[in-house]
Amino acid sequence: MCPLKARLRLLLEDKDISGLRHAISSSGTEELAALFPGLAPMEKLACFKLMKYETAVAMFQRLSFSERYFLLCGFPLQSIAPLLSGLDGWQRTLFHESPPVLFDRLLDEMREPCPQSSQDAGRPKAGRPRQPCPQSSQDAGRPKAGRPRQPCPQSSQDAGRPKAGRPRQKVPS
């Protein structure tokens, strides 16, 4: 086992979050990215949430698609609730809520090509590419997070397609 991986696991087992944060910040992004796939899911999320913004983005760029996807799914602070529940209050504060700007940056990184791992090689990308709505000038400059999506009135690609899910049933009158 890698000495850094063993150290990170020991610090997590001992609930030494301050020591874990220091070990992560004193490690290089290449080293962190190399050991990351071998960590347990909760270890990955805990380590990622303790990283500084720049380190988190740099390491994220070096991960495979599946690892990137895992981190995005575990982005909310509540994803490490089992770990947080056993910590003192001051230790919980070390796991700060990540800013939405970090999520947006990581999401943009997902759209960029990433290093191919053996499990991701040759997989086609899911879905069709997103196209901006030509009538969405009202959206220019606004952040996209939190707003409900509205269909584009000029979206001829979706015309005539049935919507996903169960068909609607008529309610007797």
The segments of the chain whose pLDDT lies below 70 read 1, 112-173
Question: Which structure tokens are listed for 153?
Answer: 């009135």
Calpha distance 81→64 (Å, rounded): 25
| Average pLDDT over all residues of the chain | 74
Tell me if 171 is assigned to some domain. Answer: no
Residue 104 belongs to a domain with what CATH number? 1.25.60
For residues 50 and 94, the answer to whether their CB atoms sit within 8 Å is yes
pLDDT of residue 80: 84
Q: How many helices (H) and strands (E) does the chain have?
A: 9, 0
Tell me if 103 is assigned to some domain. Answer: yes
> How many domains does the structure of the chain reveal?
1
Calpha distance 172→105 (Å, rounded): 49
Tell me if 51 is assigned to some domain. Answer: yes
Tell me if 19 is assigned to some domain. Answer: yes
Q: Which amino acid is at 132?
A: P
Tell me if 170 is assigned to some domain. Answer: no
pLDDT of residue 124: 44
Range of the structural domain that residue 37 is part of: 3-111
pLDDT of residue 134: 46
Q: Which distant-in-sequence residues (6+ apart) come within 8 Å of 153 by Cβ?
A: 133, 135
Tell me if 140 is assigned to some domain. Answer: no
Tell me if 74 is assigned to some domain. Answer: yes
